[in-house]
Amino acid sequence: MKIPVTVLTGFLGAGKTTLLNRLLKAPEMAGTAVLINEFGEIGLDHLLVERLDEDTVLLNAGCLCCTVRGDLVRALRDLAARAQDGRVLTRVVVETTGLADPAPILQTLMSDPVVLSVYALDGVVTLVDAVAGQATLDTQAEAVKQAAMADRIVLTKTDLSDPADVAALEARLAGLNPVAPVLRAVAGAIAPATLLGLGGFTAEGRIPEVATWLTAEAARGHHHHHHHHDPNRHDAAIHAFGLVFDEPLPWQGVATWLEMLAVTRGDSVLRVKGLLNLEGKDRPVAIHGVQHVFHPPAMLATWPPGHDRRSRITFVLRNLPREVVEAGLVSFVTSAREAAETGRESGR
Ligand SMILES: Nc1nc2c(ncn2[C@@H]2O[C@H](COP(=O)(O)OP(=O)(O)OP(=O)(O)O)[C@@H](O)[C@H]2O)c(=O)[nH]1
């Protein structure tokens, strides 16, 4: 029996890690290995997936659809070798970056001979954020491809969205993808059985562009055996970077700055994700911004083992320079520290 591989995709911040965390707790997901790929200098997802063991592999050398296709094949081969040594491996989930074009990933999974000898693509599960979905489909070609190539589409964040908007988004998705049922999951709650055992990917019945994308990918793979990064694959205006802070941060400063960023530059903020060491707190706090929405911060149970306690924030931005963001954050943090200091002095 071949080991099934599920590709979990969806635009930046759609809720992939949230869904994965829920899925991995289900008994039928025992023996699942997870391959996570992130866009940006500092991978955080491996810290946010609540089960970091040897079977969670971070592929963070770049975007899976560009530079690390070879890494995907290598990671799958390594997992297969470990399974031969007697480790349980019943399933693999590949979580792609939000900016991933699924075509090269599918092409790799469906054509690499070594991968095919052990694995079988089970299906493509695409998450679509009910709040940001329409704007994302308008502006990001990757998001359109992710939806069109799905075997199951899962609408997330319907709890934050107007029912009429959800219905309009569902209609648009049905047009982009006539074969994938559109399901819903709030905060990742969905029965695993609805996303597994999908029987493999086929272009049949889909919009004609899907076959074109896959054929183009096959040709591309053929010409460049080692598939170098193609800078035109992603919008050149989009860039990712990470900031690291050694000292604990004042929550007031960070929160005010996040609010300002969402209100004034929400269009430019594709994703902000951070793991913070806050003044006066023993446990780390995860922050998530997705376009105009800042989700409530979440306090995690513990610092991930073996991880230093510096705060890390990663950004994926469109047309917004790093210097502007960094200067803004530093100034809000400094003001909050000064205000706290003044408060302490006047209280003396
Ligand atoms: N209200 C609400 N929030 C959600 C839902 N699903 C996810 N979120 C929140 O959305 C934010 C982003 O979720 P993630 O699971 O990190 O998204 P992701 O797709 O893994 O993000 P990237 O890997 O950076 O692309 C987090 O703050 C989640 O708590 C949902 O159904 N409802």
Q: Tens digit of pLDDT for each residue in 253-298? A: 999 999 999 888 988 999 999 999 999 999 999 999 999 899 999 9
* 253 pocket-lining for ligand 1 (C-beta < 6 Å): no
Q: Is 59's pLDDT higher than 70? A: no
* 159 pocket-lining for ligand 1 (C-beta < 6 Å): yes
Predicted pLDDT at 38: 65
* 14 pocket-lining for ligand 1 (C-beta < 6 Å): yes
Residue 34 or 335, more confident: 335
Residue 38 or 22, more confident: 22
Residue whose token pair is 């469109």: 318
Residue 41 or 99, more confident: 99
* 300 pocket-lining for ligand 1 (C-beta < 6 Å): no
Q: From 3.40.50.150, 3.20.20.70, 3.40.50.300, 3.40.50.11030, which CATH number describes the 3-232 domain?
A: 3.40.50.300
- Which residue type is seen at 55? D
> Could you tell me the two tokens for 41?
């200098």
* 157 pocket-lining for ligand 1 (C-beta < 6 Å): yes
* 144 pocket-lining for ligand 1 (C-beta < 6 Å): no
* Residue 83 CA to ligand 1 centre (angstroms): 31
The residue to mutate among 146, 169, 295, 317, having the most atoms of ligand 1 within 8 angstroms of its beta carbon, is: 295
Predicted pLDDT at 226: 43
Residues 12-23 pLDDT 10s: 999 999 999 899
- pLDDT bin (cut points 50, 70, 90) of residue 182 is very high
* Residue 295 CA to ligand 1 centre (angstroms): 8
Q: Is 1's pLDDT higher than 50? A: yes
* 132 pocket-lining for ligand 1 (C-beta < 6 Å): no
Say how far apart CA 218 and CA 30 lie, in whole Å: 33
* Residue 23 CA to ligand 1 centre (angstroms): 14
How many CA atoms does the CB half-sphere of 5 hold within 13 Å?
A: 28
How many CA atoms does the CB half-sphere of 338 hold within 13 Å?
A: 6
Predicted pLDDT at 67: 52
| Contact by Cβ (8 Å): 66, 229 | yes
Predicted pLDDT at 40: 52
* 104 pocket-lining for ligand 1 (C-beta < 6 Å): no
The DSSP line for 334-348 is HHHHHHHHHHHHHH-
* 17 pocket-lining for ligand 1 (C-beta < 6 Å): yes
Q: Is 215's pLDDT higher than 80? A: yes
* 160 pocket-lining for ligand 1 (C-beta < 6 Å): yes
Residue ranges of domains in the chain: 3-232, 238-347
Question: Which residue puts its alpha carbon closest to atom 10 of ligand 1?
Answer: 15
Predicted pLDDT at 188: 96
What average pLDDT score do residues 160-167 get? Answer: 97
* 152 pocket-lining for ligand 1 (C-beta < 6 Å): no
Which fold is adopted by the domain 238-347?
Hypothetical Protein Yjia; Chain: A;domain 2 (3.30.1220)
* Residue 121 CA to ligand 1 centre (angstroms): 25
Predicted pLDDT at 35: 86
What average pLDDT score do residues 29-51 get? Answer: 67
> Could you tell me the two tokens for 124?
């493509």
* For the CA of 158, the nearest atom of ligand 1: 31
Residue 257 or 84, more confident: 257
- 154: which strand partners? 127, 183
Residues 109-155 pLDDT 10s: 998 898 999 999 999 999 999 999 999 999 999 999 999 999 999 99
* 184 pocket-lining for ligand 1 (C-beta < 6 Å): no
Instruction: Evaluate whether 3-232 and 238-347 have a shared fold.
Output: no
Q: Is 310's pLDDT higher than 60? A: yes
* 271 pocket-lining for ligand 1 (C-beta < 6 Å): yes
- The mean of the pLDDT values for the chain is 86
Q: Residues, the chain, total? A: 348
Q: Is 233's pLDDT higher than 70? A: no
The residue to mutate among 128, 161, 288, 317, having the most atoms of ligand 1 within 8 angstroms of its beta carbon, is: 288
* Residue 16 CA to ligand 1 centre (angstroms): 7
The residue to mutate among 8, 18, 46, having the most atoms of ligand 1 within 8 angstroms of its beta carbon, is: 18
- pLDDT bin (cut points 50, 70, 90) of residue 98 is confident
Give the phi and the psi of residue 313 in degrees, each rounded to 5. Answer: -130, 130
What average pLDDT score do residues 177-186 get? Answer: 97
* 136 pocket-lining for ligand 1 (C-beta < 6 Å): no
Predicted pLDDT at 306: 76
